[in-house]
Amino acid sequence: MAYEDGSAALRRSLQPSFIAERKFQAIKVCLEDYFSRILVKSVLDRGLNARGLTPQTLSPDDLEGLVEDSMVGLRLFVSPDRLPELMVELSEVLTREE
């Protein structure tokens, strides 16, 4: 079994697809604070499939569209008083520097 040396692991961690994958996981965790895990998985999987993507093939630009499309349906399942809080959290995840 081959292991990455430190420099190879660092190079991978700086690649846009790796950064997008980490942000995707952060978005998933954020959404799971508001919705059931199965609903979040279903909505995100549907969005990925519609784009022909996987979490590993996402680019940072794909994330914003994925979140926007997901929120169209998900906003129906969150109470109106929590929606602004959710939108701020998602925005913070999307704009966070990695």
The CA distance from 51 to 48, in Å, is 5
Compute the average pLDDT of residues 5-27: 70
Closest Cα to residue 58, out of 98, 97, 95, 21?
Answer: 21
The CA distance from 14 to 24, in Å, is 15
Q: What is the pLDDT of residue 19?
A: 84
Q: What is the pLDDT of residue 1?
A: 47
Tens digits of residue pLDDT in 43-75: 999 999 999 999 888 888 899 999 998 998 888
pTM score: 0.78
Residue 29 has pLDDT above 50, yes or no: yes
Domain ranges across the chain = 31-98
